[in-house]
Each structure stands twice: as C-alpha cells, then as structure tokens.
Amino acid sequence: MNRREFIKLSAMATATTVASRRALAQVPATGAPQTGLDPGVAARVGNDVTWNKAPCRFCGTGCHVQVGVRGGRIVAIAGDQLAPVNRGLLCVKGYHVGLALYGRDRLTTPLLKQGDHHVPITWAQAIDTIAQRVMANPRGLAVYGSGQWTIPEGYANNKFVKGGLGSNQIEPNARLCMASAVTGFLSTYGVDEPASCFDDLDHADVVILWGNNPAEMHPVLFSRIVDRRVRGENVTLVDIGTRRTRSTAFAQHYLPFRPNTDLAIANGILNLLVSTNRHNRAFVQRYCSFRTEGAQPSLQGEALTFDAFRARLARYTPEYVERLSGVPARDLRMLADLFADPERKIVSLWCMGVNQHTRGTAMNRLIHAVHLLSGHFGRPGDGPQSLTGQPSACGTAREVGTSFNGLPGGLLVTNPEHRRRAEDAWNVPIGRIAATPGYHTVDMWRRFSTPTAEGGDITTIWVQVTNPGQSLPNRRRLFEPSRRLADKFLIVSDVYPTETTRQADLILPSAMWVEKNGMTGNSERRTQQWFKMVDPPGQARPDAWQVVAVAKRLFDLGHAGMRDRSGNFLFRMTNADGHDVPIWDFAHFYDVNVDEKLFEEYRQFSRVKHKDLAPYAEYVAHRGLRWPVVQGVDRAWRETRYRFVEGEDPYVAHGRGIQFYHAVEHDDRALIWFHDDEPAPEPPDATYPFWLCTGRVLEHWHTGTMTMRIPQLRRAMPQAYVEMNPADAARLGVQDGESVTVESRRGSVTLPVWLDGRGAPPLGSLFVPFFDERVLINDVTLDAHDPLSKQPDYKKCAVRVVRRTSTSGAST
Amino acid sequence: MPVSGLVLTLDSPSPVRAAIIAALVADRRMTVGELQAAGRLPVVTEADTLDEQQALWDEIARLPGVLLVDLAYEDFSDIDDLESSSLPRRVRREERDHEPT
C-alpha cells in the first residue's frame, strides 16, 4: 500500500466512524478519562504522522481536533470522536485550522518602527524597549488582550499588571463581544457564566434563537439540533431576528423584528405569562425575587414586588408589542404559549445580537427572566445558554478576570477581601493591588487617542492576540488619533501583519495555537488543554514568555512591583528538584511546563466562587471538563453539567432542589428583572435612512487575520459585501455586484452589493461582515455602549448608501 | 493532492438515495463507503488542487437529495503551495443562475 492509499483509507475510516456515531447519536463518555488516541486516528499510528488532541483555535464552541504532524509540520486534521462537544465533526473553519499556521507572511522577528518603516531588532532590544517605557511611566501602560489568550497567558498578564504594576489597566477584547452577558449573569444569579450546557441541545423540544445565527457562527452546535431532526426527533426552532440568515432556513417560526425592540418582545412574553397567571408560581415563589433598575445602573438594582412587576409589564400587550417591534401579536402569543407549557423543554441561544447592544445587560436579564418566570430552568434541555465567539472568552477573559475590575476566579479589585486573597496567592505585599478599577476598553482607547496634556493618561498600549485597528468601534475616534501623537506608543504581539500591526510602533512575533502549550475555556464552562506540537516560525515566541521576559527586565531594572514579599521575581519557577529555572531566557522556557505552573497557581482562586478547577493532569487526560470540577470520595474528579441543580452541582445542599448559592442578595434566589424598552441611540433618519448591522460569516473568523490566509476559506468568501433588500436596491437603482459607499456620521466604506445572498435584510436594513481588512467597517460603526457592561453596539447605527458610477464618481 | 473524508446526509426516500449513491460511485474522484443509519454516507474525495477540491464539494452539496455535507477528515500533506492560483471572487447571481443544479 502506498502512502496515498493509506491516507485515503484513513479518510474513509474516519468518515465511516463519524457517520455511524452520528447516526446513532452516540455521545462519548465524559466520566472516565478520555485517554489514548481517538479511534479514528488510532488506525493510522505507524504511518509517519504523529497525532495529538487540541481544541480548535477559532470560536467558543470548543470542538476538539486531532492534529496530525509529520516532519515538524501539521499535515492533517480530523475531528476528535472522543470529544463530547463535537463528536468527531468540525466546521469548515475547523478542518482548515491547521493551515492557519502556514500563511506566507507570518511575523518572524521583532520589528521597530523607524520613520515610515518597521525594521528588525533583536528580542533583547524589543523587551528592553517595553521595559524602558514602563519604567518611565508605569501608570501609563495598558495591556489589551483577548478571549484568544490562553488561560495561562491571560493569567500571567493579569498578574503582571495587577500584582506587579498595581494598576488594573488591563482589558480583553471580550469587552466588545460578551461583557453584557457577564453583567446579565452577575445581576441575575450573582455569579458569571451559564448554568446550563451544550447537552441541552440534545434534549430541548424548542430552541429559540434570540438575534442569533448559529448555522454560521456555531455550526457544530447547530448541527446537533439539525441532526436530531434528521433522526426523526421533533425539535421546534424559533428564529427571532432582524434579518433572515442560514439559521432561518431551518426554523419553523421566523419572527422578524425592528432593530432595538427586542426588550419589548421579551416584556410581551413576560406580560402574557403573568397577566394570564401562566407563570410558574411554585418556581418563582421558591427560587426568585424581582428587581428593576434604580437611578443609576447597577448589578443590584431596586427590589420590586411581584404585583409591581406585573403592573410595570401591563402595557406590553401583544398589540402594543406588535406596533413597536413588528412581531405579530399571534406570534408573541405563540412564544408565550411555549413558555407557559411546563412539560416542554426550551433552550434559548444568544450571542452578539443581544450582547452588542446599548441595552445588552437589560436584554440578557430579560432572557433569563423569561426562563425563570416560566420555570424553564435546571432540567436537561431546559434553560438559557449564552454563546461566546472566542475560544477562551469564558476561560480567560471571564474566569481569569483579565478585565479592568477583575481578579482570577470571579474576584473583584474593588473588594478588599478579594484583593487580600490575590495578594496572598501571589505573595505580593498587602496593598499592591489597586482598589480603583482601570479603564474599560472604549475609555482606554479614547484616552490613548487623547493628548496626554488633555487627560490622555494612557500612553502605551500592549496589544496581544487581537486586532483593535479593525475591531474597535468608531475607529477614527478611538484608534487613529493616537497614531499622530508623538508620545503614544503602540506595541502589538501577533502572528500575521494586521491593520493593528501596520500602525504599531513595536511588533512582536507570536507563536500560535499548537506552536505552544495552551489551555482554553469554552461557552459551557469546559476547560481544555493541549501540548505544543510544532515549532513556531523564525523567532516567534509564546505571549506568556513575552510578558515574563518583560517582567524580568523590569525586575533587573529595579521595578519594585516585580518582586514578591520575599524579594523573589514575580514569576519565579522551579523544577522538580527545586532549582530555579530561568524561564525568561527562551532557551529555558520549556525546561518546565510553564502552563502547568501558572495554571496550578491560578486554580487556587477558582474555589472562592465555586468555579473549581481540577489539577492540570486531569485536563491532559480529558477532552475538557466543565467546572466546578470536584473530587469525590473515590478521589475521582467529576465535572458539573448543570449548576445550581441538586444532584448535578455538588455545592447545592441536599433537599434544596435548586439553589442559587451566589445570589445577589445572599438569599439563594435568582433575580427576575424588569426593564422598559428604550429607543436606539442612533435610529435612521432622513439623512441616514438605513439601519446597519455588522457581523460574521461561516468561512471567516472575526477580523479574518487567520482565515483569510487559508486558501479554501478565502476563495469561498473572498471579500466583504453589503447585503441589501432587493426593493431598496431597485429604488436606488443599484445592481447586484455594484460598488456602493456605506456612510455614517463617523466614516464610510465602499464595497459591492450582494442581493439575494446568504442573508436577507428587511427593507431599510443593511448587513456588512467584519472579516475583510480592506473594508474597515469599524470606520462606520457606533461607539455608544451599554451603561453597565460598557459593551459597544455594533448591530445598530444609521447609515446612508451612496451609489457610485464607474465614470462620473459618486451619485446618490 | 488534497484528500478529504466527508459525511453526507441523504434525504430519506430510498430510490433517491440509490440514485445519489450510483452517481457518486460513478465519479472517479470519489470513493463511496457503506451507507450508515439515518442516511449517513461516508465519502472520500481526491482532487489535484485545492480549487478542484472546493469545486467538487460544491458539486456534491448541490446534488438533489443531499441534505448536509460534513467534513470528517482533511489531509493536505501533499500540498506545498498553500496559496490558490485563482483570484478571489464571489459568485454573482447571474453566474449562479447558469450553473448546473
């Protein structure tokens, strides 16, 4: 048998195994360690390809892949059949994830801007440049990372900024994608992250998509739903959205609504439930209290009686909601009927449509409210499930607390007890951690783009694993001005040239994915681990090493914050013999498992908020474990599928049924919030008559820096476009494929029109994807943000369309 | 020469399934496996280039009676040049309308 025949046999063996497993809906056992090789690749051992597990690099689903390596290069990818999340399948991005490493223009050496050019420098020069900036103005440095940081990377950066610099000036780009989900969870249950999990998708009778398009954004999860239908199961899919998407094509009910009226829809459901006494009174009386917003937005709000709650909802009659939202009263009644049926199991899914919203916190709360009021909570297939877009938005941004006010494990810098715990864990002097939160993302970048003399006190930003030049809203206000200010210095660690590196003063080449060890946490509280499998190109190095190296240089320069209570280096590590290992010297970085050391230090924080993590070795043995992971009397570590549920969550007391043990009011009750609907900050008008919504597409991930370098994906979706309703196009005289300019009060982009394309926006609406760096739609988007979560709204702003002609320039 | 392992989900009526399978078996670019329960069919595709591979997948997805095309395995060990020679383009509606279905 030649090698090609062997590959074909391998492909057939894998496809056959996946086909049979999916046909039977087999779920890999999660209790026992999933050690050893995936059976789909086990047969291929002996060929010169080495296989190992890793979670996919892209979205928050957390699919596991099997990575085939030969000769120091990734040569094959297979879905991991032992992975409970994806059961051997991957989406089109996942199957090509290995190619994301091999674009021709990888960054391979540190580059310093001199004049209009970037010139190569050594790592020592780069590290020293950063250290000297920090020494000159320690409070002027901010670190801007992402939900693509691995858990150890995020933890190292958080410790560096809060435990070392003592400044709290660190934020993740997750502020732009799921901050409103965080404030929604915190103010409803008193603690962040979903109580439910992806298993719900296998049990739900009804799946409701709230402004969500999982067919493109979370395709493997969506396939779990569609798969059940193929097997003959009855699953009702309800799509509540502002434009038709691929997901709509599978939905039995499509409820289009006018932008920004989703709060009214949720209120309409709540009103129908309480006004007809069809809410779950037993559940509510036992487990819930009512709240509304006070004069200032807060996580606590003001108490409300049930009667007051009902009275405030009274005006949201089906007819009133229909006038506001466009959703017919009969469809609203249909939704209420679904929730009123206690026997039916209902899952709500949402992501950016709800979170990227100036009322994002409120809308998150209202989705929880609908489930709590109707008692659809805590059973398999019955609960609210917030989705995330990045592989470790939950694991790193949320759980490690890499935000302006967070500490690891859900702790807060504003809480003296939490600060003391962190200072003890890090062995830094009491008082090292600042009690004042840093700046949230929009504020951080606004200050970076403001002259120092005018209050722009952030003078250096170190960007890691993200691309704010393409993803920050209102780029001309938040990003570009800094590039014209002489004393502002932008450092960017990345793997490819991006819109941000092009504007950077210092570029650091990073290792990515399986070029380093890593851990991530997906949207269902599942913590995952992988080992380094190939070397990074050139001098590219892991982000964790970069921050440790800068910290060590600061230590050598005498920065007091880089010393712990004992006078030792903040990131001191020892080997099994107790000898110090100089991990800041890259030649010795892998002499110990730095990830394991950082993770074991981090996981001691996880028990405070009952987000218990298992020892590192457990994650090596599993395809992820969902926290809290608690050791039983038999010494085995067990994950938790459903939080707050007796028999599932080990922290729920016997006989309690459901216990919200981190409740806002410390009374074990979740809060059901009331929120009035409000007008959008920038509705269309006579000058800017269209709504603009932005988002992603199946083939590309976020700003496209990786997926646009994968030939198959780039070819399948080569360029950004603007979706327009055909009737609007006809009225404007615009043809399919014709270039138009989309213009807001902030900026404009020119791009081709796509009519009858993948999505179908209603009259007066446009959609533009975010992935194309040649079309910077963030020139156009709005930086108005939710008052509590500080998350900007990328889904709604007012624009106009300017028609262009090939000969005479522009015409309207 | 990229090799892929696909899982097709076929529509339920047996005569349609048989016709689809016959069409796939006749295509030399594919190796068809054993039909599994619930209409799951494993198929291995071979192509000379990435462009041809993509075109083949699109062709399969357009076959009447093919509900879903999932990928289960992708080998690109023989591909030295990861850059596509074809220019990025988007299929215009007019072109789609003239494509075989």
Report CB contact under 8 Å: B5, A12: yes
Is residue A731 one of the residues assigned to a domain? Answer: yes
Which chain B residues are within 8 Å of A537, Cβ to Cβ? none
Q: State mean pLDDT over B48-67.
A: 81
Q: How far is A516 from B36, CA to CA, in rounded Å?
A: 39
Is residue A320 one of the residues assigned to a domain? Answer: yes
pTM: 0.89
Report CB contact under 8 Å: A12, B44: yes
Is residue A791 one of the residues assigned to a domain? Answer: yes
Place of tokens 């198959």: A712
Q: CA angle A567-A568-A574, nearest 5°?
A: 155
Place of tokens 């006809």: A730
Confidence of residue B91 (pLDDT cuts 50, 70, 90): very low
DSSP string, A529-563: EE---SPPSTT-B-HHHHHHHHHHHHHHHT-GGGB
pLDDT confidence of residue A416: 98
Which chain A residues are within 8 Å of B40, Cβ to Cβ? 19-20, 22-23
Q: Given CB atoms, is B21 within the 8 Å cutoff of chain A?
A: no
pLDDT confidence of residue A22: 58
Helix (H, G, I), strand (E, B) or coil at A771: coil
Residues paired with residue A303 on neighbouring β-strands, in sequence order = A291
Tell me which residue in B43, B74, B93 faces A77 most closely, judged by beta carbons: B74
Residues paired with residue A142 on neighbouring β-strands, in sequence order = A461
Angle between helix A262-275 and helix A306-313 axes, rounded to 10 deg: 120
- The CATH number for A246's domain is 3.40.228.10
Average per-residue pLDDT for chain A = 93
Q: Given CB atoms, is B68 within the 8 Å cutoff of chain A?
A: yes
Strands (DSSP E) contained in A377-431 are 383-386, 406-407, 411-412
Which A positions 211-270 lie with beta carbon below 8 A of chain B?
A: 223, 226, 230-231
Report CB contact under 8 Å: B37, A20: yes
Report CB contact under 8 Å: A721, B90: yes
Q: How far is A609 from A400, CA to CA, in rounded Å?
A: 12
Is residue B8 one of the residues assigned to a domain? Answer: yes
Is residue A146 one of the residues assigned to a domain? Answer: no
Position A579, amino acid: H
Report CB contact under 8 Å: A711, B76: no
Which A positions 445-464 lie with beta carbon below 8 A of chain B?
A: none
Is residue B49 one of the residues assigned to a domain? Answer: yes
Report CB contact under 8 Å: A19, B77: no
Is residue B100 one of the residues assigned to a domain? Answer: no
- Under DSSP, the state recorded for A399 is I
Residues A8, A79 contacting (CB under 8 angstroms): no
Report CB contact under 8 Å: B88, A77: no
User: What residues in chain A have per-residue pLDDT under 50?
Assistant: 24-32, 806-812
The count of structural domains within chain B is: 1
pLDDT confidence of residue B58: 80
Residues A277, A284 contacting (CB under 8 angstroms): no
Q: Which of A466, A676, A523, A644 is nearest to A212 (CA)?
A: A523
Report CB contact under 8 Å: A719, B50: no
Residues paired with residue A751 on neighbouring β-strands, in sequence order = A740
**Sign of dihedral through CA atoms A130, A133, A138, A143?**
negative
Among chain A residues, the shortest Cα distance to B49 is held by A712
Residues A231, B38 contacting (CB under 8 angstroms): yes
Last-in-domain residue among A101, A127, A156: A101
Q: Given CB atoms, is A717 within the 8 Å cutoff of chain B?
A: yes
Length, in residues, of chain A: 812
One domain for residues A88 and A210: no
One domain for residues A204 and A341: yes
Residues B42, B6 contacting (CB under 8 angstroms): yes
Residues paired with residue A510 on neighbouring β-strands, in sequence order = A541
Q: How far is A80 from chain B (nearest CA, A)?
A: 9
- Residues 6 or more apart whose CB falls under 8 angstroms from that of A181 comprise A354, A355, A360, A364, A386, A388
Tell me which residue in B4, B7, B38 faces A231 most closely, judged by beta carbons: B38
Is residue B89 one of the residues assigned to a domain? Answer: no
Last-in-domain residue among A386, A402, A417: A386
One domain for residues A185 and A53: no
**A344-389, pLDDT tens digit by residue?**
999 999 999 999 999 999 999 999 999 999 999 999 999 999 999 9
Helix (H, G, I), strand (E, B) or coil at A173: helix
Q: Given CB atoms, is B91 within the 8 Å cutoff of chain A?
A: no
Q: How far is B96 from chain A (nearest CA, A)?
A: 11
Domain range for B51:
3-79
Is residue B98 one of the residues assigned to a domain? Answer: no
Which chain B residues are within 8 Å of A700, Cβ to Cβ? none
Is residue A589 one of the residues assigned to a domain? Answer: no
Q: How far is B42 from chain A (nearest CA, A)?
A: 5
Which chain B residues are within 8 Å of A96, Cβ to Cβ? 74
DSSP string, A298-358: -SS-EEE-HHHHHHHHTT--HHHHHHHH---HHHHHHHHHHHH-TTS-EEEEESHHHHSST
One domain for residues A326 and A188: yes
Q: How many CB atoms lie within 10 A of CB A2?
A: 7
Report CB contact under 8 Å: A90, B71: yes
One domain for residues A88 and A186: no
Report CB contact under 8 Å: B38, A96: no
**A608-634 burial by CB neighbour count: b if 16+ within 10 A, else e?**
bbbbbbbebebbeebbbbbbbbbeeee
- Residues 6 or more apart whose CB falls under 8 angstroms from that of A166 comprise A432, A433, A434, A561
Which of B74, B82, B95 best probes binding to A when mutated, by most A CB atoms within 10 angstroms?
B74
pLDDT confidence of residue A699: 86
Q: How far is CA A508 from CA A121, A134, A465, A666, in A?
A: 10, 17, 11, 46
Q: How far is A178 from chain B (nearest CA, A)?
A: 29
pLDDT confidence of residue B99: 32
DSSP string, A11-67: HHHHHHHHHHHHHHT----SSS---S--HHHHTTBTBS-EEEEEE-SSSTT--EEEE
The count of structural domains within chain A is: 3
Which chain A residues are within 8 Å of B93, Cβ to Cβ? 736-737, 755-756
Q: How far is A268 from A278, CA to CA, in rounded Å?
A: 13
Q: Given CB atoms, is B6 within the 8 Å cutoff of chain A?
A: yes
pLDDT confidence of residue B94: 35
pLDDT confidence of residue A805: 63
Report CB contact under 8 Å: B68, A223: yes
Q: Which two tokens stand for residue A659?
A: 């216990």
**A753-792, pLDDT tens digit by residue?**
988 888 889 999 999 999 999 999 999 999 999 999 999 9
pLDDT confidence of residue A519: 98
Ramachandran class of A626: left when φ > 0, alpha when ψ lies in -120 to 50, beta otherwise: beta
Q: Given CB atoms, is B65 within the 8 Å cutoff of chain A?
A: no
Highest mean pLDDT: which of A83-87, A417-421, B2-6, B93-97?
A417-421
Q: Given CB atoms, is A704 within the 8 Å cutoff of chain B?
A: no
Q: How far is A330 from A403, CA to CA, in rounded Å?
A: 43
Tell me which residue in B38, B43, B71 faces A95 most closely, judged by beta carbons: B71
Average per-residue pLDDT for chain B = 72
Tell me which residue in B4, B68, B90 faces A718 most closely, judged by beta carbons: B90
Which chain A residues are within 8 Å of B36, Cβ to Cβ? 16, 19-20, 23
Tell me which residue in A76, A102, A754 faces B74 most closely, judged by beta carbons: A76
Give me the active site residues of A, please: 93, 177-178, 352, 389-390
> Is cis: bond before A628, omega within 30 of 0?
yes
Last-in-domain residue among A76, A101, A126: A101
- Residues 6 or more apart whose CB falls under 8 angstroms from that of A467 comprise A494, A498, A499, A500, A702, A703, A705
Residues A74, A98 contacting (CB under 8 angstroms): yes
Is residue A728 one of the residues assigned to a domain? Answer: yes
The ipTM (two decimal places) reads: 0.82
Tell me which residue in B37, B46, B83 faces A104 most closely, judged by beta carbons: B83
Is residue B92 one of the residues assigned to a domain? Answer: no
Q: How far is A43 from chain B (nearest CA, A)?
A: 14
Which of A4, A5, A10, A12 best probes binding to B when mutated, by most B CB atoms within 10 angstroms?
A12
Burial class (CB in 10 A: 0-12, 13-18, 19+), A137: middle
Is residue B95 one of the residues assigned to a domain? Answer: no
For A147, the enclosing helix (H) or strand (E) is none
- Residues 6 or more apart whose CB falls under 8 angstroms from that of B7 comprise A15, A18, A19, A22, A89, B40, B41, B42, B43, B69, B70, B71, B72
pLDDT confidence of residue A9: 84
pLDDT confidence of residue B95: 34
Residues A474, A746 contacting (CB under 8 angstroms): yes
- The CATH number for B16's domain is 3.30.70.260
Residues A143, A169 contacting (CB under 8 angstroms): yes
- Strand A236-241 vs strand A253-256: parallel, antiparallel, or unpaired? parallel
Domain range for A354:
181-386
Q: How far is CA B37 from CA A87, A231, A234, A528, in A?
A: 16, 9, 18, 32
- The CATH number for A782's domain is 2.40.40.20
Q: How far is A100 from chain B (nearest CA, A)?
A: 10
One domain for residues A196 and A85: no
Tell me which residue in A68, A79, A718 faces B89 most closely, judged by beta carbons: A718
Among chain A residues, the shortest Cα distance to B52 is held by A712
Is residue B94 one of the residues assigned to a domain? Answer: no
Burial class (CB in 10 A: 0-12, 13-18, 19+), A11: buried
pLDDT confidence of residue B93: 31
How far is CA A361 from its chain centroid? 16
Q: How far is A786 from A357, CA to CA, in rounded Å?
A: 7
